[in-house]
Structure formats: structure tokens, C-alpha cells
């Protein structure tokens, strides 16, 4: 089990950012947890950039990023299979992740809301997209999401399909 506390993750990111020449105080990174069942955010807060995480118990499913021009990605796209080319919903349906529940386009949004915790890391937009991309990559490396990128990209660092890979439990608090 990989146990990660939000304060530790943020403190470690601040150190990594400093190595990249970026000074960002931990206080500038807001951590918002939406436990299951959760309601998706209705908007990206003004003046903020976001890295978002979907957790199923201790398993990280997806990590993504959003800025002002990708608010739909942040708010709604991952909850529907046909809302964008690559969504958490589509990945879960394809993998039939829900266990005994048969996941399809009709029930996937409700399943995600009911069964996943949503975590948002918000940073002021004046830090820019380079910092946002660094934060996203850092969180991906730390939490090892099961449905990230294309299968060919996952195979380099995470052999096999999500069902074949050994599952690592991740707790974010």
C-alpha cells in the first residue's frame, strides 16, 4: 500500500518544483476532496488551474489537468463515455471495472459519482501551464493511475493492462 497524505504530497511537489527553479509555497496549492458519493464541480474556480484525481478506495484511477479553456474536462467530460475522445468513463466501461455491475453509457456517470472520490489540487493561474503540467506529472508518478494515457504509454512504465497489473493501494488524505 502506498499511503500518501495530501500535505506530504504537496510538500514533496514544492521540493520538486524548486529543483525545476519554480518557487511555489505549499499554501498556494489548495487541496479539495469530494468523497463518494460526490457531485462533480460545476465550474473551475476563477483564476485557478487544476489537477484532478479520481480514486476508487485506495486505487488511483485517473489524474488529469485543466485550465480555463478546458473547464468541461474538469467538470463533466470524464463522467460520460462519449463526451470526449478519452475519458475515465470510457476506460471504465472498456475494462468493465465495476465488478458485478455491468457498466455502460447509461449508468457510468452515476457509478463514477457513487463509487469514486474526487480530489482537486488548485493552483493560482499566474503560475502557468508549465507548473500545472509539472504538478500533473508529479501526481501521476506518485499515485500511479490505472487509466492514464494510451495503453502503449502505460506499457512502458506499467506492464500489462490495468486488469493484469498488480494493484497498488493508494490512500490520499
Q: Where are the domains of the chain?
A: 2-50+58-66+115-172
Cα dist. 125→68, 120, 138, 151 in Å? Answer: 9, 14, 18, 31
pTM of the model: 0.83
Confidence (pLDDT) at 2: 40
- Identify the pLDDT of residue 89: 93
Q: What is the average pLDDT across 54-76?
A: 93
Q: Stretch 3-18: mean pLDDT, rounded?
A: 89
Q: Give pLDDT, residue 170.
A: 53
CA 80/CA 118 separation, integer angstroms: 15
**pLDDT tens-digit map of 98-157:** 676 689 999 999 999 999 999 999 999 999 999 999 999 999 999 999 998 655 444 444
pLDDT of 128 reads 97
Note whether 36 and 110 are within 8 A (CB).
no
Amino acid at each position: 500500500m502506498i499511503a500518501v497524505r495530501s500535505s506530504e504530497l504537496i510538500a514533496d511537489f514544492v521540493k520538486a518544483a524548486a529543483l525545476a527553479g519554480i518557487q511555489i509555497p505549499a499554501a498556494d496549492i489548495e487541496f479539495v476532496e469530494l468523497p463518494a458519493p460526490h457531485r462533480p464541480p460545476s465550474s473551475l474556480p476563477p483564476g485557478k488551474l487544476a489537477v484532478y484525481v479520481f480514486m476508487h478506495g485506495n486505487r488511483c484511477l485517473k489524474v488529469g489537468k485543466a485550465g480555463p479553456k478546458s473547464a468541461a474536462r474538469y467538470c463533466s467530460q470524464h463522467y460520460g463515455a462519449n463526451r470526449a475522445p478519452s475519458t475515465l468513463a470510457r476506460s471504465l466501461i472498456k475494462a468493465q471495472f465495476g465488478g458485478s455491475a455491468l457498466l455502460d453509457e447509461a449508468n457510468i456517470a452515476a457509478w463514477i459519482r457513487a463509487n469514486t472520490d474526487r480530489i482537486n489540487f488548485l493552483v493560482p493561474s499566474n503560475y502557468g501551464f508549465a507548473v500545472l503540467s509539472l504538478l500533473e506529472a508529479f501526481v501521476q508518478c506518485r499515485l500511479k493511475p490505472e487509466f492514464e494515457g494510451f495503453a502503449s504509454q502505460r506499457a512502458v512504465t506499467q506492464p500489462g493492462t490495468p486488469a493484469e497489473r498488480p494493484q497498488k493501494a493508494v490512500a490520499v488524505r
